[in-house]
Each structure stands twice: as structure tokens, then as C-alpha cells.
Structure 1
Amino acid sequence: MRNNKFNLLTFSLLFVVIILSFGLVSAVSAVNLGTAGDFVVLSKSGISTTGTTSIVGDLGVSPIDSTAITGFGLIMDISNQWSTSSLVTGKIYASDYFVTTPATLTTAVSDMEIAYTDAAGRTNPTATELGAGDISGMTITPGLYKWGTGLRVDSSGVTLSGEANDVWIFQIGEDLTISNGAIITLSGGAQAKNIFWQVIGQTTLGTTSNFKGNILCATAIVFNTGATLNGRALSQTAVTLDANTIVSPETNSPLIVTSTSISLTSTTSENGNSAGTSNSMNLGIGSENVTSNAKTNKTVMRNSETIRITFMNDKVKLSSGEIKVETELPIEVEGNNIRATQSNGVQSEIKIMPDAASEIALNRLRLRVCSEENNCTIELKEVGKKEQAQIVYELKIQKESKILGLFKKQMKVSVQVNAKTGEIVGTEKPWWAFLASEKDEREGRN
């Protein structure tokens, strides 16, 4: 009997050890980029741009020389070790610059190739041929994913859901194609610096797409007009740009501007080296600039409707028509898409614009306008907890009512409109509201 108990205990312990060991082995570790991680764009055969591109981070080309960097209007530094450009917040390096630069670039390119080989050589994938090469609309957890063919993401995008230290490695046997307007969404604390796309073929980012992660590409990386990248473009051939925005994943990205102050002082790469930014700088977003710790404006077009977004140090204002909304939520603008980040890390798209939300709420309250005269305010906020959390417009107003039809009293009421669906999710009135008759200002009657 004792032997049976002993054997059972031994088996149980062995089972636990196996399970724990499997968990440790199956966890994916990050790809070491070495000194290639000091660059946001690194290419062996050239970097070209047309339009107003904006890059935060360093660029480098090798073994090709600086003649292969076109469209940037290079300005040589007095040290002759690097050049600068009005399109780049950082430094630009080439193999024909001062004596120490070629050796630095040779090492960086070698590290890029080693990182590519590392990513390509990882084994025991979490899944193979996921979605038959089309992961559009999926939510993908951390792990190693392998395809023998190309990989595609259409305009519905893809979500990578995990925690801050989780890692994704995508091994792609042919081309990586990101469709126009597609967005790589990170949720749950996932970070762009921990995402690695190893691509045997060409990488193409479609018009106004928003991509995240480190691209390790054996051939060309092509950015179509308005595509944005929070990550790195590391190509063993050429990188082609067209009015794009690229930022290092270690930088406070201008693609994701929160309601807190935008502070881009000296940034640090993964291996501890300075990324070369300054204490005060302008970050280009499209044709507009973001100035550190200052008011910033961005305009978004939605169905021929113009929404103006103003980023302040402690809040964000959204305006459409005559309606102005304030929020303390972190706001992300990607192309013509607006998102708010909830406290649980989930990003919620703002599909209903301020004037539409105002009209929905006013109709519920039987009012015509939201103005200072009726103490009307609209706030974009989060309501609910954890999985039930959602982003709403909350319209608060003070309206005149009659208690039992005898005497007038100001009634404070509020309506909450879901910012994604336009549905009314809540109303709030004082306890005595059932005794009151309210004036319908839309028709001018009681």
C-alpha cells in the first residue's frame, strides 16, 4: 500500500515537472537584434522616399553608400560621421561617412542578418499555416507562428493580445502583404518591440495601413502612401517610402498620442545606446507637427465629415460641427481611425462622432441644442468594469421641468451613448423625475 502511494506521489511530481518544463520550453524568447536595434530603418541597398515622410529614430545603409539615400535632402554633420534631414528626428548613417561609421554599419548589418537567421531558425511553432495564410480579423496570442507560403492581412486588420513581456515571432515563407487601411492592434499590454516578422519575400504595407513590430526582411520593404510603422524596417535589400511615419518601438510614438504630456527626450534602444533624440523636438505626423509638451492638432475625415482633435497636456478635445467633447482617455489616431484605450488595455474604436452622439442624446432628452445656456457638457469617458467596460459619450444637461405641474425646478439629467455603436446605454435623472413634466424644446410644447 505504501509502495502504491509512493509510486502515485512520484508519478504526480513527475507529471508536474513535465508540465512545468513544457511551459518553460514553449515560451518564446525575443530575437536579439544586437546593434541593428539602434536603427529604425536599416538597408543594404538603399532607402528612398517621396512625399512628406516623418521618421523618429536613426537610419543606416551599408554596404551601399549615401548616394542610395534619396528624397531626404541630407545635410552632413560637421563631424562627417552622420547626416541629418528635416524628415528625420535622429541621425542618418552611410558606409562612405567618416572612418568609424563604416565599421559600425558593418556590425549592424551583420547583427541584422544574425537576427534574421535566429528568427527563421526557431522551432516548435505554436501553430503552422494559421488561417491558410490569411489572419485577417483574428486575435493572436503570443507564440511562434510559421507559414510555408505568404501571409496576408486585409483591411479588417489583426489583433495581437498579450502582456508587456510576451513575444510573437512570425515566420513567413513568401511575401507579407498588409492591405490598405489594415491596422495591427495591440491589446492587453502587448508591445511592438516584442513582435518579429521574419519574411523571406517582399513586405508591402498598404496605403494608410498601421503596422507594428520589427520587420526582418530578406528582400524589399515597400511602404505605400500614408502607411505607418511603430517598429523597425530592417531589409537586406531596399526600403521604399511614400509619405510615411515610422517610429522606434522604444519611443513615445507620435502615432499614439495620449492625454498626458508628450515628452520625447533622450530615448534608449534595447541594448542601452542612445537613439539620438533631443530634449525638445517636432514630430511630423502627416503634414502636421507635434511639439513636445504643447497643444497639438490633428484633423480626421469621416464620411465627408471633419473631426478636429486637439491634444493638450492633460486632456484631449474632439470637435465636429459645433460640438466639442473633452476626454482624459488616451487617444490614438491612425489614418482616419480614432481609438480610445480603456483601463483594461483594450482599444475601442470611436465610430460615432461627437455631433452624431450629441444628436442621439438630445433626441432622448427632447432637446434641440447643447449649449452653455442649458449648462450642457459632453465628455468621452469609460464606464463599466473589466470585461464590461465600454467607451461612451456622456451628455449632461440642466433642463427646466414642472413638479406636479405646479412649480418650476431645474432638473439635471445625463445620457450615455456608446461611442462605437451609437446605442444609448444609460440615462440618469433625479429620484423625483417621475413627478415632473418636461418641456419638449424640439416642438416648443409641454
Structure 2
Amino acid sequence: MKTKILMAAIFLGAIVLFAGCKKDDFVEITGVCPIVVSTIPANGATSVPLAQVITVKFNEEMDPSSITSASFFIRSTAVLTGTYSYNDSTATFTPGSPLTANTTYTGTVTTDARDLNGNYLQTDYVWSFSTGTTLAPMVTTTDPADLETGVVLNKTVEANFNMPMNAATINTTTFTLMDGVTNIPGVVTYSGTTAFYNPNADLTPNTEYTATITTGAENPAGDPIPADYVWTFTTGTLVAPTVISTDPANLDIDVPLNQIITADFSETMNGATIDATSFTVSNGVVNIPGIISYAGVTATFTPTDLLLSGTTYTATITNAAENLAGTTLVSDYVWTFNTIATTGPVLPDLNTVADFGIIAGVGVSNNAGFSVINDMNVGISPGVRSSITGFPPAIVVNGAIYASDDLTPVGVAAMLIQAKQDLTDAYLFAEGASSPAPATVSGDIGGMTLAPGIYKSTSTLLIQSGDLTLDAQGDANAGWIFQVASDFTTVGGAGGNVILTGGAQAKNVYWQVGSSATIGDFTSFKGNVLALTSITMNSGATAEGRMLARNGAVVMTSTNIINKP
């Protein structure tokens, strides 16, 4: 029994270790996916001797029986003939006749090459060299490959070159697709080192097609490919699934930082193939973590964290995604988008006064009712303990009440002086904030929705005719500074509340008030009030924030609640 359990564990472990190598025949012992580590001649080599023997070195021992003319070949205008040998992780091709002078050759090691564990090369390895002094442009690989069968009917035909080409020379004259003698209408595009032929309509089932890249295709120096490159393929009967739309769309800008990324397919997919391997989102450095789900015809990627501000992201649906019949995407679907750049201001640093939900100069009072300050302290300076009234019934939860004349704990007076100084510094910082440029507001800002930024009123300011909404647009670090030259008043009831949306946080909202602030009856308020004179919370008003008065009093009228932001 122990032996059976041990063998099962070894077998399962081997499956996990080898899950990353495609086309594996078996998983008997630990191994790695093979790769090509070097070639002779090297990629891009010129003036190669005509008697050159071509070698390919792998990162591990390969199965010699897999090194054949199907898995390793050299071509110029045609594939060369020769002999093959293998020794000590190196495959060798000896051409049957000398190479031709002043000719560019392309070497290819295909995914038919496998190691001793049955693990195959993951992608074709292609390189070029020349017996002349320069490399000529050449077609190195195509998709579909030459003589490929069962090609899907909505296939976009691709040809890859060994160097960048002059895009102006890649067109419907130099890249053609034929059904016998009939030209197939389509659109030709070029990107990177790849030319694309996208037929206007689906191809005909079970039909042989001929694709051609002519010598009219040139590199930027004006050098043409040495001869027409011609290949054929045969269609099957299937139409491959496609991605028909995404959110965000390709090249979208100002994408919110809390964006959920989705891709819609042309048909129902096998949900088991929509996973972290087939659906990725990268910030240009690493793939970001997220939760992937699939429903209907839509794949959804929900990032674990907010996206970064002002960043380009690349989303990819790979051809590992399959429909219910097991047909994969023709090729990876890739799109990019840019997130919104945060434009909010640098916020004041409260330093030690951040520990206080209320701090005042001359008095702190709770006039009636059961008021509560949660998770913060209450303080007064230079006022004294006798100027703090209404506690109880008001209470402080997970905090304490400090006055400048307290004898204990030792150092209370100095601590309060420092807190008041930190309040003054934060007040002056908020008052002088100027980047980004402040937007002018006046009168009643109720009913507005404001993006992160600095908002300046040269007189009084009201929130009266409706709720004020602060929209962070998905940026949890977004901030607001309101610079109010005189009094600031909210009017509770039907309007006058402060609403946070789009990831906005109360701790990042600052109200610098040049005189006194009044939080109206039953107002739900958000943010830190930094008032020069006094602050009054009317009956039933609640705040997620702080009430910090430099010189005057803080008054809770009746049954008020202040929660730590």
C-alpha cells in the first residue's frame, strides 16, 4: 500500500511539473521544456563560409530521433538537403553541397524537436545568416504553415520576415491569396516584422489556397526578398471563435482605476479554458493579479488591486481559449488601454493632530443627547478641562479626552501644543495649495459632482440644494482641498450631504475654512474640517472625518457621531 501511495504521489508531482510543456507525450521523470541556446552561424551573421556546417545547441539533452529534416532545416529560396547528426545536446546539419555565395539563409528548429522526457520545443526557433556582407530580407515563417491542413475558415494569413520591412511595399500587389486562379479579396496590413492578409469573407471549406509574397516586398534599404515566397494550405470546415469586443476598447484612454476588464467572444466558449493562462493583463512589467470568470460569451478579469494611475496596460486572450467544440482562437488577441492620470493635489500632513476627532482652542461641548467620537481623541488647548462639557452623556470610544491643564499623563500640555501646531501647519498648507490650479467655486455647490482637485471660494460656501458628490474615478488616493475664505455651511435634510464615489476616501478630503463651519441638521458629512475659528455640528449630524478648530470652540448640538476616516 505504501508503495502504491508513493508511486501515485510521484506521478501526480510529475504531472504538475510538466504541465507547462505543450505536446508532451509522457511525464516519467523531472525535466524542463527544451529551448535553443545558441547557433552556428549566429543569428544575423554575415560573410559565412560556403562550407559552413550548421549547428544548434539546446539547453538539455534531446531525443536524437526527433532531430530530422522535419524539425531542423535550412532554406534560401528552397529547403537545403543534407545530413543530420546529434551529440551532447547539439544538433548538426551538414549541407549536401556548398552554400551559395551572397545568399541569405534562414534556419528553423520546429516544435517537433523534443527532449528525452518527451517535452517539445514550445515555439519554432528561427534565425538568419548570410554568405554575403549583408542580410537580405526573407520570409521566415508563415501561419498557416506550408501544406497545413484543416485551416479554419476565418483565418488571417500571416508571413513573418527576418527583419523589419518597408510597410509601403507590403500590399495586395506583393501579398496575394489565391483559390486556384481566383484572387481572394482582402485587406493587407503590416506590423513589426509580420504581414497580415485578412480575407473579406470566410474561406471556402476543404479548399487549397496559395499565398504569395513577391519580390516587390522590400526592406527600408530597398532590398527585395530574393525570390517570390509561395506556400499552400488547405481549409477544413470549422470557423474559429474570435474576440468581437472588449471593455476597455483597444487604445482607450482615461480608463478608471477600478476598471473591470472584459472580452466578448463571437460564440460560447469552454469556460474551463478561460483562466489565468489564457487571459492576462500586464502593466508593462508584470502580469497583474486578478480574478477571472466566464459567463455567456463574456470573459471577465477583475483586478485584485486598483490599476495604477497614468499607466498603459496590455490585455491578452491567448489561443489557449477554446469554444465548446475545442476550436481555439486563430491567434492571440491583444489590446492596450491607458488609465486616467491622477490630477489631485498633494494633501496636508496632519501629523499628530490626526489622532484627534475634535480639537479646539477655547471649548468643546455636547449640548444634548448621546454623542460619540469613535477611535480618536478629544482635545483642548489652550482651553482647560472645565471648558469641556457634556461628557457624559457624550462618550469617546477607543480614545481619550485631553486638556491643557491635565496633570496626567505627564506631558499632556506639550502634546496638545504640538497637535495644535500641526493643525496650524496643515491649515496653512491647505490654504496655500496651488497645484493643480484651483477651480473657483462660489455660493451653493450642492448637487455637483467634483473630480479630485483644489476648489477655492473667495467668500462663504454652502452645500444646500442637493448632495455634493466627490468622484475619485477609481483612484483610492485621489484627494480634494476646499479653500473657503469665510464661513462654510451644510444644510441637512433633503440635501447637503457629502457623498463619496469611485473609491474616494474621507481621509483624503480637506475643508480649510477661513472663519467658522456649520454641519447642518442630520447631514452626513465626509472629510477633515480645518477651521480658523469654530465648528458646530447641528442636531443629528454625523461625520466621517475630523472637526479641528484652531482658535474657537467645537460644539456638538445633539446626538452627533464622529467616526475616524
TM-score, structure 1 as length reference = 0.47
RCO higher in structure (CA 8 A, sep ≥6): 1
Q: Which has the higher helix share?
A: 1
| Bigger Rg, structure 1 or 2 | 2
